[in-house]
Structure formats: structure tokens, C-alpha cells
């Protein structure tokens, strides 16, 4: 197949998300050392940029290549990620007493989750910059995705994962040829192990938002949502937030499209959904200064929600505030019940993270926050098949 990617990325700057200091995007970057915060790409966007830039034969996130930071399209490492479906879910809509309930289902991505989006862009950047070894702490899905993309790119991947993670997540990493290391504890403990192993700087650290590339791949979910709704976005988006890259990325995409004039109405209220066993966003929202002092995170059936100390906390809180959104915490013991409800009513084996969004919707609908006529979009970030060990 001929190369049908667009050339000519519109990337403009890479800057600290707190103070705005500019960093050189043509060389490998991790996070903003000035403030110890994530780095954020911006693009040369202006009102009137035509959607013609999206016309390509590419059927993946790379149809948006001009809005991604890869400078030479020959370096793109793709497994046909993205362009996942949005569908109306009427049975569960009736249960929630909603006329317009939609689901964006990320199950069809390579390795079965939305992590493929971010890792496609990040591994492409590693290839572009000649990096041969990387390391990642993961709750599960990011490890498998990194292993797959690194296999294609001939990059050595080391995956650090909690020991209690379901076996399928571990197996896929090894099947793709990655080195797998298991750690007792949560993803923050995996991060500490990765830091220890990388004390001499031999690996590029792919920890969530401690590099700026994965966010750009995740933001394409926002572009796809806007394309599906023809620029007339729903009133609410419910997102299961662990590390928060998807929540931040979708909001970033909406703001970029506002700059270009691609969005017709006001932006959605973003609802960050967390488990009661590990809800750091809620704790930080209530007490931004001292929240860590009495925080006692636990494991979750939704592995991806067990991220106790997210590096992107400031950015997630900003999305909630800017969108007039909310943080909604759901009870851990109800997640399995809603996974089964989805399966039996809609024929979709949803991830526990995705099931949590429906629980949050019901809660906010009952509390009068969401109205019957509001259009609501739920995000299912991955395949429930990978969690059967947790569900059965």
C-alpha cells in the first residue's frame, strides 16, 4: 500500500503546562524540568483551517497526522489504531431514562484498548529520534500496547506491572517480546521500580505524562467525537480517569478545534469517573494542598482506575473546572454488576472502567445533574475480555 499520510505537521511549540517555558520539540523531551509538570504541544492553528487536511486514505489516527508531532511521516509506527465507533445504546439509555445515550468503544484498537493511540505516537517519536530502549510502569493495558508497538519498531521495551494484574495483561507483554517485571503494589510502586532500574538513564521513561507524546495520540479521540457529532458536541462526556491522559487529551482536542472554528456549540461538561477505592482527583479537588496526607489508595477491579498519584493532576483539575464538569466516585462493589448489565442488555463485554461511567451517569441523572434530553457520551477505554479473571 502506498504511503498516504499527510506530510507537514503543524506543530509549533512544546511548553511547560504551568509556566509556559518553551522546550525544543525537535529533540527528545520528557517533562518540564522547570516546574516538574507535563509538557504540552501546541500547533499553528487559526480559524479557517480547512477540514480538507483530514482527507487521506489513512484509516487510523494518522489521518490527523498534521495535528500530531511527528516531523517525518516515514517514522510513523501504526497498527491501524483509532477511528473507533460511536453508537447509540438504547436499552441502557432507557434504564437511565435518557433519550440520547452514546458509547464510544475503544475495544477495537490494537491490543484491545485506547492505549494504542498514545503509544503509536510515542513509539513513532522514539523511532524518529533514534531511541532503542524504553521502560513503562503500567496498570495493564499500556504495557501490552507499548510491547506491540515496540515489536514493530524494533525497540526494546521493559514493562513494570502490579503482580495482581490479570494474567492476560502479563502474557501479552511477553508474547510481543517485552521484558516483564512484576511488583507488589499499585502503579506508583511500579513507577518507583522503573526509576530505580533507570537510574543510569539507559531507558526512555514512558510514564504517563512524564513524556509529551502519548497525550497527542489520545487527543484524537476528541477529534473523532467531534467528527461523529458534526461539530455539535454532546452536553456531557463521562470518562474513566486513572492517569487522566485521555480526559486531558479530549479536552485539548476540543480547544484546538475551537481555534480552527470546527466546533459549533459550547463544549461538553467533562465528568471524571473514579472508583471509591482510589479517587485521588476527588481528594485533590477538595483539598489541593494536603490531600496526599490521609489518602489511602486500594486496588480496583478496574485496574486502570487504580492510579493513586497521577502526574497530570493539575491538568485534570483544570479540565473539570474549565468545562464546569464534576468528579464522580462510584462504589467498587457495583462495577462488576454494571459490566454484566452492559453484556446482557447491549451485547458488549465492556471493561470495568467503562462500566464505571454508566454507574456515574445513573448517579448524576438521579441527582438531577443530567437531564432526560441531554446528549451523553460514555467512553469505554478497553475490552472486557481482558478482565474476565476479575469479573467471573
CB-CB contact of 128 with 112 (8 Å): no
* pLDDT at residue 6 greater than cutoff 60: no
Instruction: Encode pLDDT of 128-159 as tens digits.
Output: 999 999 999 999 999 999 999 999 999 999 99
Domains of the chain in start order, with CATH, are: 86-113+215-391 (3.40.50.1100)
Instruction: Encode pLDDT of 206-243 as tens digits.
Output: 999 999 999 999 999 999 999 999 999 999 999 999 99
Instruction: Encode pLDDT of 74-129 as tens digits.
Output: 999 999 999 999 999 999 999 999 999 999 999 999 999 999 999 999 999 999 99
Confidence of residue 55 (pLDDT cuts 50, 70, 90): confident
Radius of gyration of the chain (CA): 19
Task: State the pairing for strand pair 236-240/375-380.
Answer: parallel
Maximum alpha-carbon separation in the chain:
56
Average pLDDT over residues 364-379: 97
At residue 69, the pLDDT reads 97
Confidence of residue 58 (pLDDT cuts 50, 70, 90): confident
Q: What is the DSSP letter of 113?
A: B
Length reported for the chain: 392
3-state helix, strand, coil in the chain (%, to 5): 45, 20, 40
Q: What is the mean pLDDT of the chain?
A: 95
Instruction: Encode pLDDT of 253-304 as tens digits.
Output: 999 999 999 998 799 999 999 999 999 999 999 999 999 998 999 999 999 9
Instruction: Encode pLDDT of 314-367 as tens digits.
Output: 999 999 999 999 999 999 989 999 999 999 999 999 999 999 999 999 999 999
Rounded to whole angstroms, the Cα distance separating 341 from 116 reads 27
At residue 370, the pLDDT reads 97
At residue 54, the pLDDT reads 85
C-alpha neighbours within 13 Å on the C-beta side of residue 219: 25
Is pTM beyond 0.75? Reply is yes
* pLDDT at residue 7 greater than cutoff 60: no
At residue 386, the pLDDT reads 96
CB-CB contact of 316 with 259 (8 Å): no
Sequence-ordered list of residues with C-beta below 8 angstroms from that of 146, at least 6 positions apart, any chain: 115, 119, 122, 123, 134, 136, 138, 157, 159, 178, 206
* pLDDT at residue 4 greater than cutoff 60: no
Rounded to whole angstroms, the Cα distance separating 80 from 5 reads 12
At residue 179, the pLDDT reads 98
Q: Which residues pair with 180 in a beta bridge?
A: 159
Task: State the pairing for strand pair 11-16/39-43.
Answer: antiparallel
Confidence of residue 52 (pLDDT cuts 50, 70, 90): confident
CA distances for 186 relative to 213, 276, 296, angstroms: 24, 15, 12
CB-CB contact of 106 with 145 (8 Å): no
Amino acid at each position: 500500500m502506498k504511503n498516504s499520510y499527510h506530510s507537514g505537521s503543524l506543530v509549533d511549540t512544546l511548553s511547560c503546562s504551568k509556566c509556559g517555558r518553551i522546550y525544543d520539540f525537535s529533540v527528545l523531551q520528557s517533562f518540564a524540568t522547570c516546574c516538574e509538570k507535563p509538557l504540552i504541544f501546541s500547533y499553528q492553528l487559526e480559524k479557517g483551517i480547512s477540514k480538507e487536511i483530514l482527507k487521506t486514505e489513512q484509516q487510523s489516527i494518522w489521518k490527523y497526522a498534521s495535528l500530531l508531532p511527528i516531523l517525518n511521516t516515514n517514522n510513523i509506527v501504526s497498527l491501524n489504531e483509532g477511528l473507533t465507533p460511536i453508537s447509540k445504546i438504547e436499552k441502557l439509555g432507557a434504564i437511565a431514562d435518557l433519550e440520547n445515550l452514546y458509547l464510544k468503544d475503544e475495544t477495537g484498537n490494537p491490543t484491545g484498548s485506547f492505549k494504542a493511540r498514545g503509544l503509536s505516537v510515542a513509539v513513532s517519536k522514539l523511532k524518529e529520534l533514534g531511541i532503542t530502549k524504553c521502560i513503562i510502569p503500567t496498570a495493564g493495558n499500556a504495557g501490552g500496547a507499548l510491547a506491540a508497538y515496540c515489536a514493530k519498531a524494533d525497540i526494546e521495551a521493559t514493562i513494570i506491572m502490579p503482580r495482581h494484574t490479570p494474567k492476560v495483561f502479563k502474557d501479552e507483554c511477553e508474547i510481543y517480546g517485552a521484558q516483564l517485571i512484576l511488583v507488589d503494589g499499585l502503579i506508583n510502586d511500579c513507577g518507583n521500580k522503573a526509576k530505580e532500574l533507570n537510574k543510569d538513564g539507559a531507558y526512555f521513561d514512558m510514564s504517563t505524562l512524564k513524556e509529551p507524546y502519548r497525550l497527542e495520540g489520545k487527543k484524537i479521540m476528541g477529534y473523532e467525537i467531534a467528527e461523529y457529532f458534526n461539530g455539535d458536541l454532546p452536553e456531557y462526556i463521562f470518562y474513566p480517569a486513572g492517569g487522566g491522559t485521555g480526559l486531558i487529551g479530549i479536552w485539548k482536542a476540543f480547544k484546538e478545534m475551537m481555534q480552527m472554528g470546527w466546533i459549533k456549540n459550547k463544549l461538553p461538561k467533562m465528568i471524571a469517573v473514579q472508583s471509591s477505592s482510589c479517587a485521588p482527583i476527588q481528594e485533590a479537588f477538595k483539598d489541593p494542598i494536603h490531600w496526599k496526607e490521609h489518602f489511602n489508595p486500594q486496588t480496583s477491579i478496574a485496574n486502570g482506575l487504580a492510579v493513586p498519584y497521577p502526574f497530570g493532576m493539575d491538568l485534570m483539575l483544570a479540565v473539570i473546572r474549565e468545562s464546569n464538569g464534576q468528579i464522580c466516585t462510584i462504589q467498587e462493589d457495583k462495577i462488576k454488576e454494571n459490566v454484566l448489565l452492559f453484556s446482557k442488555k447491549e451485547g458488549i463485554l465492556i471493561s470495568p472502567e467503562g462500566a464505571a461511567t454508566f454507574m456515574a451517569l445513573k448517579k448524576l441523572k438521579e441527582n438531577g445533574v443530567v437531564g432526560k434530553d441531554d446528549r451523553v457520551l460514555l467512553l469505554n477505554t478497553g475490552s472486557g475480555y481482558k478482565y474476565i479473571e476479575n469479573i467471573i
